[in-house]
Amino acid sequence: MILADQLVKRFTGRTAVHEVSFTVERGEVLGFLGPNGAGKSTTMRMIAGCLEPDAGRALVDGHDSALDRQAAQSRLGYLPEGAPAYPAMSARGYVRFHLRARGFSGEALTHACETALKRANLGAAADKPIGALSKGYKRRAALAAAIAHDPPVLILDEPTDGLDPNQKDGVRALINEMAPKKAIIISTHLLEEVDAICSRAIVIAGGRLLADDTPHALARLGDDDTIGSAFRTLTRPAGEAISERAGSGRT
């Protein structure tokens, strides 16, 4: 459902993503992990068709994100980091706007909108101006827009950013509910989310893919068999010791 094939992206002489390759199948939830500036968002933007790679290719459900962008994006729900929204528009209006842009109308539009608002648990906030909402409700409005057309592929960049613990649990439950029928990539700095919702995890740093395996297998790369320890081991700055087991994953 998702193919990243030797993706490369450079900015002003700096290589932000260096020959990154992986696949995600239907039914998989892939945790995309890395420190700030690792290349996570850049990689996801290339897969989503928002940024063209300098080399390599990205496919969404068999469609090239750069060469066949409209077809690829029709099969994709994308929640970018800090998703922009019109502050004067209500969450309901925002989701309806997204659906109309995708060709929805009439009863199909209304049903898809109300279903997405309910699944994102907007409640009474659905009719308030987005500019008046808390960060958590703004994030949920953007999530509702990303899932409203029920795409087979989801790319979610920090989906629980700004949410309180109860809201985070709700979003995680929603992702687990959707997972069997979709291919999902989640970027997160909350390593407990990897154990909670991910069937696989990738670690990237310096634009390079360092490990790709199940959360349980990745945890064994650390000093105390936890995802946090493995993350620190794999992404430790150059010059510090790196576990010799780091190359044992599915890279």
Say whether both 117 and 224 belong to one domain. Answer: no
Number of domains in the chain: 2
The answer as to whether 6 is a domain residue is yes
The answer as to whether 81 is a domain residue is no
Q: Which domain holds residue 66?
A: 2-75+152-248
Domain end: 134, 150, 166, which one? 150
183-187 and 55-60 beta bridge pairing: unpaired
The answer as to whether 110 is a domain residue is yes
Say whether both 110 and 228 belong to one domain. Answer: no
Say whether both 91 and 142 belong to one domain. Answer: yes
The answer as to whether 104 is a domain residue is yes
Number of H helices, E strands in the chain: 9, 10
The pLDDT score that the predictor gives to residue 240 is: 52
Say whether both 124 and 188 belong to one domain. Answer: no
The answer as to whether 80 is a domain residue is no
Say whether both 90 and 210 belong to one domain. Answer: no
| Predicted confidence (pLDDT) per residue in 67-96, tens digit | 999 999 999 999 998 776 789 999 999 999
Say whether both 11 and 61 belong to one domain. Answer: yes
This model's pTM is above 0.75: yes
pLDDT band, residue 238 (cuts 50/70/90): low
Say whether both 189 and 237 belong to one domain. Answer: yes
The answer as to whether 52 is a domain residue is yes
Say whether both 57 and 165 belong to one domain. Answer: yes
| Predicted confidence (pLDDT) per residue in 160-184, tens digit | 988 889 989 999 999 999 999 999 9
Say whether both 97 and 20 belong to one domain. Answer: no
Q: Kindly state the tokens that stand for 151.
A: 């795409």
pLDDT band, residue 244 (cuts 50/70/90): very low
Say whether both 105 and 33 belong to one domain. Answer: no
153-157 and 183-187 beta bridge pairing: parallel
User: Can you list the alpha helix ranges (DSSP code H) found in 66-122?
Assistant: 69-74, 91-101, 106-119
| Predicted confidence (pLDDT) per residue in 20-73, tens digit | 999 999 999 999 999 999 999 999 999 999 999 999 999 999 999 999 999 999
Is there a contact between 160 and 135 (Cβ–Cβ < 8 Å)? no
Say whether both 6 and 71 belong to one domain. Answer: yes
| Predicted confidence (pLDDT) per residue in 94-116, tens digit | 999 999 999 999 999 999 999 99
Q: What is the CATH number of the domain that holds 12?
A: 3.40.50.300
Say whether both 57 and 130 belong to one domain. Answer: no
Amino acid identity of residue 79, one-letter, is L
